[in-house]
Amino acid sequence: MNNDVLTEELPADPWLAAPPPVPPASRVPAGSAASTPPPAPVPPVRTIVLDRAPVPVAPPHQREAVRTQLAAAGPERLTLRNVSIHYGADRGSAGSPNGRRAVNDVSLSIHQGEVLALIGPSGCGKTSLLRTLTRLTELTPSAARGGEILLDGQDVHALQDTRLRSRVAMVFQQPNPFPMSIFDNVAFALREQSRKRPRRREIEPQVVDALRRAGLYEEVREDLDRPALRLSGGQQQRLCIARAIATGPEVLLMDEPCSALDPISTAAIERLIGELRRELAVVIVTHNLAQARRVADKVAFMYLGDLVEYGTAEQVFEAPRAERTREYVRGAFG
Amino acid sequence: MNAYAPQALADPVGLEPPRPTRGRGSSLWGWRLRDQLILLAAWGAGIGLCLIAGAIVLYMGIRGFQYLRPDLLITRPQAGVDQNGAGGFLDPLVGTAVLTLIGISIALPLGVCAAAWIVEYGQGGRARQSLARLVESSIEIVAGTPDIVIAIFGLAVFQLGVLGPLSSRSESGVVTGHSFIAAGATMSLIALPPLFAATREGLQAVPAQVREAAFALGKTRIATIRRVLIPSVRSNIATGATLGISRIVGDTAIVIVVLAEGAPRNEAVGSTPVLGFLRGTGSSLTSFVYGNSPAGEGNSPTKAYAAAFVLLLFILALNGIVGLIARAHARSSGFDVGEARL
Amino acid sequence: MDPAQITRPTQAPLASLPAQTPPSRPPARGRAGGAALLARLRRPWGDRRAELALGAVSLLICLAVGAMVALVALRAWPTFTHNGLAWLGSGGDVDRQIEGMVATSNHPPASAYHVRAWPLLYGTLLSTGLALAVALPFSLLSSIFIVEFAPKLVRKVISPVVRLLASVPSVIYGLIGILVLVPFVGNHLVTIPEKRSLIGTVELTGASVGVAALILAVMITPIMVALISDALAAVPNAWREGALALGVHKLRATLAVSLRAIRPAIVAATALACARALGEAVMISMVSGSISFAPSLGHGPLTFLAEPVRTFASSIVDNHEGFGGAPALDSTLYAFALLLLFSAIVLSIGAYLIKLPLRRYQAAR
């Protein structure tokens, strides 16, 4: 198979990873081979030159070492056992005709210190799965979840939702800073989670630290009281990350965090993910395969609600076990 | 064919959907004291609102069924102010209808034309824009002006000697300014803002392609407005008109100040059949209720309750019409009448 | 570019063709002027003329409103010139001053204009202020309840009822007030010693500032609830979810994010409700006792609420029968109206100005 071809000179983009001469038999199941047109020529390779360097997040001496730092995965944080999500089920009654099963029997484990990328075409249940990890699916009245999710060995249903969500933070697809100042945004969880509202002076170090870890501090330090909605899209998303990590969660969930952003902001956030990986478990949903390849340690490929393949990034991208994964990774559909 | 098209895959049919389970919510005892109190207060306020609303509707309903007899609707009030004896409120009913008719037939063309001008012509050029802004703020001023102020403005206008023929003159030759025409015209001012607002919102919501398509067919701008745009915002205009009518029906101050000085019977001026009636004074349901409450001189609370119940039924019906129009229209577009209603 | 100019050439070229304009144009114009005008009117309207007609209607509305402001101001002028700034001061019984004007002649002496309107201003501000103080927190809380906590069924029932209450005529509220609340307060809440303590000053019948403010609050609450709950329901889901995902409970998320986001709507609702309360005439006239008494906290808080009051709007209703007879009375009542008109305009401009800085934090959306 063509796995061997793809070992050494890995281009960044899986589009380019597919070698031009594909034997028809390996692309499509036998039977329809005769009608298959010859494969389209691969687009010419272009080098994308960013007009300025991405903002450095890590100190210079660590800058090149992001990916190689991981020695071994840390302890298991989240465990998913046979998780299913169903929409449109009538409350209590089984099998509603209009119901739709979005996630089907997924079992996974998420470890501290590694980045898990959920990949797959649109509408295959990635986002539902991600949202259910912090019980946000409960906000949808028609959604029902089966199976078991454990956070550090404890069933998330037994945790108070506020406690769970302060330990498992979430960053959404569209940057959603609140209509308040930058400072208030980052301080939001610090202030509102605690029983007694802390003063600004008490939480300022934490806010600055979160902004710094999110790589935003240098850009906004002059005026932390600026309205957050005046920031650019990339800055807003990093602000949302800062907001999410300000209270020190154990797991960070990211739902296509870069899909609304330009390449420079995307690069900044990807570096940031590499940094954050050291202290928390990161789950990132993306249907940008190149991004998954750049940031992920483990990759889970989902298709129409099923977990098709789960393994290390190298294994899934370079030696996928399932035919469907191979096709998807190569760009045959999706 | 793509082998991995969705239909090629087995849909997981036959799988039991998981039972919807909800995990533990956040414990109230962990909340701040302030939040606990606010939650309590919010429930209290919500339930209180329901109770108050229910009490008002129920109370008026009970009183209405208690005191409303059919003959009240078809007999004329007693002559003179005191309504303690026999007699119903036919005249106020007619008065309300006439006032509504006059008011809305003045406000409707004004509101629709102004809205059409603002949306269709008010954008081109600096002069037009500033006139458009002027018109909008004028209507906003009218919308915010208390009805009592509009009432005495109407009275002042119709007491001008030039407008004498529209009302009657007292023995000393002074124009009284009290007539159905005067009150109806004044009423048109309070019906104007909701009409204007609803029509303007409707016109603004018509996509630009509709206009472009009409222009592309060689229609002039005014033909587009008359044959395409106005018909397409009919339901908005209807909503606005209904809201305007419910304002007119419910208004008291203008009736008391401009239409009459308390007598519940409609008194025509002169012998001309229609014009005499319109130049004459009279009453409406609202002024009848006011006059028969202890605050007025009619002194017949049971009739006041009955008339108020009829009034409430009118308002209920008008509200229902607005709801129906909105629901019918919501199916074809996302128009929301919420803002224009108030 | 002016859209009217794009379409105008459809008619203009025909008229300007050289072949169609004979040399004898001036006399033809003079002779058949009337007939031509008629013919022109019968033709389908050109854009230019249609625009002029519609524009004229719009201008008419502006003129009417301008006339209203000007006329009211003009009529109010004499009383201001005769009294000066003391007009708003206190001194004497304003009821008696106004009643005295009814008898004055068509050419009143300067002394006929004497009026000190402070008790009315006080009464207006007091009833409006009390009503808002009750209605604002109540409507905020019940909006939160309706949007965030109410069961679905309750929500479905309550919103149309709120809309209905917002459009119930004020005279019905006044009727309930004067037939139910006023006797109740007068017979059960006001004690004999309280009545006795004010003998010779004012009679405590139950028609009072407290009842007036309470009914005002009931009248303006539905308006505010409708506007605020609409705004609350329209808060982007991303903010709601974003707050919940940060481990904040629902009420806190609503208070800290949603309420903050809808502050412009709250300001607008409050301004609208305030304008309604200031201008409410008929209901107040029915339940407030219509005595220009200035309730004083010195009599004790409960007595204070049971004391009668009179507002600008209600005194116009109470004295409308004298209109057109005595210029001094007319001028005084128009002065009340001018103040109401002025405050309505100030409120709407003020609400607009307050909303501007509040929008700052939502600039990008």
Enter the tokens of residue B201: 């919102």
Question: How many Cβ contacts (< 8 angstroms) between chains A and C?
Answer: 86
Higher pLDDT, A2 or C38: C38
Q: Which of B52, B123, B148, B284 to mutate to probe the C interface, most C CBs <10 Å?
A: B148
Q: Please state the three-class secondary structure of chain C as a single string.
A: CCHHHHHHHHCHHHHHCHHHCCCCHHHHHHHCHHHHHHHHHHCCCCHHHHHHHHHHHHHHHHHHHHHHHHHHHHHHHHHHHHHHHHHHCCCCCHHHHHHHHHCCCCCCCHHHHCCCCHHHHHHHHHHHHHHHHHHHHHHHHHHHHHHHHCCHHHHHHHHHHHHHHHHCCHHHHHHHHHHHHHHHHHHHHCCHHHHHHCCCCCCCCCCCHHHHHHHHHHHHHHHHHHHHHHHHHCCCHHHHHHHHHCCCCHHHHHHHHHHHHCHHHHHHHHHHHHHHHHHCCHHHHHHCECCCCCCCHHHCHHHHHHCCECCHHHHHHHCHHHCCCCHHHHHHHHHHHHHHHHHHHHHHHHHHHHHHHHHHHHCCC
Stretch among A56-70, B104-118, C295-309 having the lowest mean pLDDT: A56-70
- The whole-number pLDDT of residue A243 equals 92
State which H helix or E strand residue B300 sits in.
none
- The whole-number pLDDT of residue C228 equals 93
- C-alpha distances in angstroms, A319 versus A289, A296, A312? 15, 16, 10
Higher pLDDT, A287 or B10: A287
Q: Which residues of C102-115 are buried (b: 16+ CB within 10 A; e: fewer)?
A: eebeeebeeebbbb
Residue B171 clears pLDDT 80, i.e. is over it: no
Enter the tokens of residue B342: 């108030």
- The whole-number pLDDT of residue A30 equals 43
Q: In what order do the strands lie in the sheet with A306-312?
A: A154-155, A144-151, A76-87, A100-111, A306-312, A298-303, A115-119, A281-285, A251-255, A168-171
- The whole-number pLDDT of residue C40 equals 62
Minimum-distance CB partner of C363 among A164, A174, A230: A230
Chain segment A172-189, per-residue pLDDT in tens: 998 999 988 999 999 998
Chain segment B38-78, per-residue pLDDT in tens: 999 999 999 999 899 889 989 999 988 888 888 888 778 77
Question: Looking at residues C323-343, what average pLDDT do you find?
Answer: 85
Q: Report d(CA A273, CA A253) in Å as an integer.
A: 11
Q: Report d(CA B235, CA C209) in Å as an integer.
A: 43
Q: Which residue in C288, C239, C231, C237 sits closest to C262, CA to CA?
A: C231
Å between B49 CA and nearest CA of chain C: 7
Would an 8 Å CB–CB cutoff place A226 in contact with chain C? no
- The whole-number pLDDT of residue C23 equals 42
Chain segment B226-235, per-residue pLDDT in tens: 888 888 888 8
State which H helix or E strand residue A171 sits in.
strand A168-171
Would an 8 Å CB–CB cutoff place A8 in contact with chain C? no
Would an 8 Å CB–CB cutoff place C232 in contact with chain A? no
Contacts of C261 in chain A (CB under 8 A): 178-179
Q: Report d(CA C106, CA B309) in Å as an integer.
A: 43
Chain segment A280-333, per-residue pLDDT in tens: 889 999 888 888 888 888 899 988 888 888 888 888 888 888 888 888 888 877
How sure is the predictor about C220, in pLDDT bands with cuts at 50, 70 and 90? Answer: very high
Would an 8 Å CB–CB cutoff place C198 in contact with chain B? no
Q: Which residues pair with B21 in a beta bridge?
A: none
- The whole-number pLDDT of residue B111 equals 92
Residue A58 clears pLDDT 80, i.e. is over it: no
Q: Let me know how long chain B is.
A: 342
Q: Report d(CA C211, CA C307) in Å as an integer.
A: 10
What DSSP letter does each residue of B78-134 carry, written as one string?
PSSS--SSS---HHHHHHHHHHHHHHHHHHHHHHHHHHHHHHHTTTSSHHHHHHHHH
Q: Which residue in C241, C258, C253, C363 sits closest to A229, CA to CA?
A: C363
Would an 8 Å CB–CB cutoff place B71 in contact with chain C? no
Contacts of B23 in chain A (CB under 8 A): 135, 138, 156-159, 161, 164
Q: Which of residues 263-282 of A touch C (CB under 8 A)?
A: none
Instruction: Give, as one character, the DSSP assignment of residue B258.
Output: I
Higher pLDDT, B135 or A8: B135
**Phi, then psi, of B182 in degrees rounded to 5:** -60, -45
Helix/strand/coil percent split, chain B, to 5: 70, 0, 30
**Phi, then psi, of A86 in degrees rounded to 5:** -130, 130
Q: Which amino acid is at C20?
A: Q
How sure is the predictor about C104, in pLDDT bands with cuts at 50, 70 and 90? Answer: low
Q: Which of C54, C223, C352 to mutate to probe the B interface, most B CBs <10 Å?
A: C54
Minimum-distance CB partner of C4 among B25, B146, B221: B221
Chain segment A29-49, per-residue pLDDT in tens: 444 444 555 655 555 544 444
B202 exposure class (CB count in 10 Å sphere: 0-12, 13-18, 19+) = buried
Q: Which of C1, C59, C68, C127 to mutate to probe the B interface, most B CBs <10 Å?
A: C68
Enter the tokens of residue C96: 């008696």
Would an 8 Å CB–CB cutoff place A181 in contact with chain C? yes
Would an 8 Å CB–CB cutoff place C170 in contact with chain B? yes
Residue C3 clears pLDDT 60, i.e. is over it: no
Chain segment C258-276, per-residue pLDDT in tens: 998 888 889 989 998 999 8
Chain B residue nearest residue C224, CA to CA: B342
ipTM: 0.86
Q: Which residues of C126-138 are buried (b: 16+ CB within 10 A; e: fewer)?
A: bbbebbbebbbeb
The packing angle between helices C327-359 and C94-102, to 10°, is: 130
How sure is the predictor about A55, in pLDDT bands with cuts at 50, 70 and 90? Answer: very low
- The whole-number pLDDT of residue B217 equals 87
Chain B residue nearest residue A159, CA to CA: B24
Å between C63 CA and nearest CA of chain B: 9
Are A179 and C236 within 8 A, CB to CB?
Answer: no
Q: Which residue in A147, A41, A166 sits closest to A103, CA to CA?
A: A147
Sign of CA dihedral C188, C189, C191, C192: negative
Stretch among A150-164, B210-224, C294-308 having the lowest mean pLDDT: C294-308
- The whole-number pLDDT of residue B19 equals 66
Q: Which residues pair with A115 in a beta bridge?
A: A282
Neighbours, chain C (3 or more CB pairs < 8 A): A, B
- Most confidently modeled of A97-111, B106-120, C10-24, C72-86? B106-120
Are C345 and B141 within 8 A, CB to CB?
Answer: yes
- C-alpha distances in angstroms, B241 versus B112, B144, B245, B251, C72? 10, 18, 6, 15, 28
Question: Looking at residues A105-120, what average pLDDT do you find?
Answer: 88
Contact assessment for residue C273 and residue B144, using Cβ atoms and an 8 Å cutoff: no
- The whole-number pLDDT of residue A3 equals 42
For residue B309, give every residue at least 6 positions away whose Cβ sits within 8 Å of its Cβ, in sequence order, or none. B60, B61, B63, B64, B65, B67, B68
For A152: left if phi > 0, alpha if psi spans -120 to 50, otherwise beta; the answer is left
Q: Report d(CA C188, CA C182) in Å as an integer.
A: 10
Stretch among A247-261, B123-137, C180-194, C350-364 having the lowest mean pLDDT: C350-364
- State chain C's mean pLDDT as an integer: 80
Residue A11 clears pLDDT 80, i.e. is over it: no
- Most confidently modeled of B15-24, B34-43, C34-43? B34-43
Chain segment B293-307, per-residue pLDDT in tens: 888 777 788 888 999
- CA C217-B151-C85 angle, to 5 degrees, is 80
- The whole-number pLDDT of residue A104 equals 84
Q: Which amino acid is at A80?
A: L
Residue with tokens 């996302």: B334
Chain segment C115-147, per-residue pLDDT in tens: 787 888 888 999 999 999 999 999 999 999 999
Residue C240 clears pLDDT 70, i.e. is over it: yes
- CA C339-C345-C346 angle, to 5 degrees, is 85
**Phi, then psi, of A82 in degrees rounded to 5:** 50, 45
Neighbours, chain A (3 or more CB pairs < 8 A): B, C
Minimum-distance CB partner of B220 among C7, C59, C154: C7
Minimum-distance CB partner of A86 among B18, B25, B26: B18
Are B24 and A95 within 8 A, CB to CB?
Answer: no
- The whole-number pLDDT of residue B13 equals 46
Are A178 and C261 within 8 A, CB to CB?
Answer: yes
Contacts of A247 in chain C (CB under 8 A): 246-247
